[in-house]
Amino acid sequence: MNKKIEKLLNDQIEKEYSSSQLYLSMASWSENQGFNGTASFLYAHSDEEREHMLKLVKFINERGGTAVIPAIYKPDVSFDSMESIFQSLLDHEVKVTESINNIVDACLSEKDYTTHNFIQWYVSEQLEEEALARNIMDKLKLIGSDKGGLYLFDRDMQNSNITAATPN
């Protein structure tokens, strides 16, 4: 495996793991605030990010590289509001997208078409992740500080009624 690509993929493992930890922290805060629907959504999102990490670990190892398992990341445990949680989530996903795009660029410049093909799944996933986060932020901006609206929002999160916008 190309060492430059291997390093970038290992860096991405750390980012996916950090995402999982961040969303786990957000889920715990939400649960403690009585937002059980949002907590369920974020717990599931945390698990999904861990799966993204494992997919990278297996890919690197299968290609003859060495996957590096990162140290435990300790995210913030306190948040100001539901809106601040999801703004942080959106900001984080934008950074992850940038990282994925850097891997794509490196794959093309190094002519590593196998990894380029593999990473396309992450490109598509990031489109969905960002669209979902923006959709949620739009809903929270509409709600503002209305407690009844937050109650309904939380219930929607529990019922998975909030989905990513379909790209054109």
What letter would DSSP give residue 80?
S
User: Of 31, 23, 71, 14, nearest to 47 (Cα)?
Assistant: 23
Is 6 a residue whose pLDDT tops 50?
yes
The stretch 105-115 carries a mean pLDDT of: 98
Domains in the chain, start-ordered, CATH in brackets? 3-158 (1.20.1260.10)
CA-CA distance, 121 to 116, in Å (whole number)? 10
Q: The pTM is what?
A: 0.89
**Percent of the chain topping pLDDT 90:** 88
The reply to whether 49 sits in an annotated binding site is yes
Query: Tens of pLDDT along 57-107?
Result: 999 999 999 999 999 889 888 899 999 999 999 999 999 999 999 999 999
The reply to whether 93 sits in an annotated binding site is yes
User: Of 159, 100, 88, 148, nearest to 127 (Cα)?
Assistant: 100
Least confident of 48-52, 105-109, 158-162: 158-162
Is 159 a residue whose pLDDT tops 90?
no
Report whether 2 contacts 96 (CB < 8 A).
no
Name the CA radius of gyration of the chain, rounded: 17
The reply to whether 130 sits in an annotated binding site is no
The reply to whether 45 sits in an annotated binding site is no
Q: Which residue type sits at 133?
A: A
- CA 12-165-27 angle, to 5 degrees, is 55
Place of tokens 């942080």: 88
The reply to whether 12 sits in an annotated binding site is no
Q: Which residue type sits at 70?
A: P
Confidence of residue 160 (pLDDT cuts 50, 70, 90): low
